[in-house]
Amino acid sequence: MDYFSNIPTHMDYDGQGRSEKLSRIIITLFGVVGLVWGFIIQQFSATVYVLGAGFLLAGILTIPPWPMYRRKPLNWQKPRPAPREEGSETQKPKKKK
Amino acid sequence: MHSVFGRGNAMAAYTLSVLAGLTFCCFLSTVFLDYRTPAVINTRQVVVKSIPDYSASREKNDLGYVTFDLKTDLTHLFNWNVKQLFLYVTAEYQTQSNQFNQVVLWDKIILRGENAVIDLKNIHAKYYFWDDGNGLRGHKNVTLTLSWNIIPNAGLLPNVGAIGSHSFAFPPEYTTSKV
């Protein structure tokens, strides 16, 4: 079970941005190519099919959280050690223990 | 876009927006085309009868009986934004009771990919040529025209008239024999 729960399923912020940008580029490109192709062969259904192919390709490339979208993890700051000043309220219960 | 469903949803929405834009481009590419084309119509047999119109008043009205030839080539009208043509032949004439009469005599649907070269000889009207009175007997100027309605993938549904028409006259006597 540990193996499955350790599979990373997230994208980092930069990866999310890049995946959306990539999907839009792919779909737009297939749409334009499909429009030109459909106009050449005078068949609008061809345009729709080419756009559908672009949708599938973009879906494969940008919907699953591939490792390429996980290259810039956030630089979390190290947890600060709790301040050990005598006046602080939070420390008092610990001292009583 | 942090989840699979979020990304899938955004992609589907964007794809549909793109599809709408492409469809609009398809409409733009054909909206200014000229769909008129010549057609030749000739009448063969023209008779007029006076019989009761049971579908309306039961009074005796004029019923025209026309057979005609129709020749035209509509192949070049089809493009990526034309799914089918609805052809119809109308008779137009003026009577004393009506400034403008228009009767559809015949129609035909041509799907894209079907044979659009039309050369029909001596075809019978599909629909009754009733006048709403006695205006047909001896009428000097009845005009047959071919028109078509373009059914597109996206955009307008224009009614286009063929270039060319045919005018004919009805005989001055009613026919009593069976035709």
Contacts of B10 in chain A (CB under 8 A): 20, 23
On the question of pLDDT at A91 being above 50, the answer is: no
What value does the mean pLDDT take over residues A3-30? Answer: 91
ipTM over 0.85: no
On the question of pLDDT at B137 being above 80, the answer is: yes
Cβ of residue A47 closer than 8 Å to a chain B Cβ: yes
Residue count of chain A: 97
Contacts of A65 in chain B (CB under 8 A): 4
d(C-alpha A71, C-alpha A76), whole Å = 15
What value does the mean pLDDT take over residues A68-92? Answer: 76
Give B 51-70 residues with CB within 8 A of chain A: none
Three-state secondary-structure class, residue B140: coil
Cβ of residue B153 closer than 8 Å to a chain A Cβ: yes
Q: Considering the entire predicted model, what is its pTM?
A: 0.80
Cβ atoms of B172 and B140 within 8 Å: the answer is: no
What value does the mean pLDDT take over residues B116-138? Answer: 93
A81: closest CA of chain B, how far (Å): 31
Average pLDDT of chain B is: 93
- Tracing tokens 């580029």 back to the chain, one arrives at A25
Q: Read off the tokens for B96.
A: 């004393």
Percent of chain B with pLDDT over 70: 99
User: What letter represents residue B85's amino acid?
Assistant: L
B80: closest CA of chain A, how far (Å): 5
What value does the mean pLDDT take over residues B159-176? Answer: 93
Q: What is the pLDDT of residues A14-27, one digit of tens each?
A: 999 999 999 999 99
Cβ of residue A53 closer than 8 Å to a chain B Cβ: no
Average pLDDT of chain A is: 87
Going from the C-alpha of B33 to that of each of A90, B29, B44, B82, the distances in angstroms are 81, 8, 34, 12
Element (H, E) at A38: helix A13-41
B158: closest CA of chain A, how far (Å): 19
